[in-house]
Amino acid sequence: MSHDNSQIYRTTSARTGKMLAIMLGICIVGGVIFFSMWDYWISSPPPVVALMGGGDDHAGPAVHTGATITSDLSFIESSDFRTLAFNALPGEPDNNPTINMEVGDKVMFNVVNDGRSFHSFGVTSDDEGFSGIIPGSEVASASNPLKAGEGGTSEFIAGEDGVFYYICTVPGHREQGMVGQIIVGDASAQVMEPVVEEVMEPVVEEVMEPVVEEVMEPVVEEVMEPVVEEVMEPESTPVEFNGVISVPEGTGTPGCDETNACYIPFNVSISAGEEITWSNDDTAAHTVTSGSPADGPDGNFDSGLFMAGGIFSTTLDESGEYPYFCMVHPWMTGNITVN
């Protein structure tokens, strides 16, 4: 005789009803607690939002609760490309205008590249360099910059008091003058890049003992130094070329143009149909663009922006002179003679 040892559990409708009532009560109480703390939940944005205000994870939210400020900025360059600025050159009205705002205010930037070089834009709290760009404030980038005539918009929301900086994020351009300040709240005492007045040490007039001039017998030099005429090869003379033109390290700052060392060699001679190659041996990005800084690109060839370690090659089939320059650093110039 077999026995069924399985157990069957049963409950009553009353117990089921009580269980449902308890669960419903828990849901109602939880909902009341949740919605009663609604201000708390919306007052704690993700860290990335806080970073948009320029602060760290504990700096508070960057919520647009105040005024909206519009700032129109133009990238400009001096005629020799050594001085860069926003809106006007140093000493002129509206040069790198300072923006004053309060926590919660928002700046809408409208930027346009009115220069011939490449530029890009962003806001940072760093007082030097081109890193630490606050998300949402950037327009283009150093690797994909604005070309002449191009522009864009971005915004910056002030999340805390302090001094921030709007800059050109192309390496080297901030140091050449493309930087302005944003003063948030009570931070006017923090002046960007203060002018350091050189304190001159008082001039001490030393009482010199009278100089006793010794009467020397005249030295008669019987042997005349021969005049050695050094036959220098003119810098404009093309160099016979069978290799690669180097973009040497340090060309991202002015100075190499004084010795024609921005491209090495800077003036080469090749045959028609011969391929020519440039190697970026610098740490900054450059271009090899046919034309001149004064007149702009002429369309014969253009490498576009190529980064450190990159190369660019082209073939020139027609004889003639082919001047070229760097669109990012226009003091860099070179020339190719095609025979």
What domains are defined for the chain? 49-184 (2.60.40.420), 239-338 (2.60.40.420)
**What is the pTM for the complete model shown?**
0.61
**pLDDT class of 321 with cuts at 50, 70, 90:** very high
Q: Is the pLDDT of residue 55 over 50?
A: no
pLDDT at 121: 97
Judged against a pLDDT cut of 60, whether residue 53 lies above it is answered with no
pLDDT > 90: percent of the chain? 46
Q: Which distant-in-sequence residues (6+ apart) come within 8 Å of 254 by Cβ?
A: 81, 82, 176, 329, 331
Least confident residue range of 88-97, 108-117, 221-230: 221-230
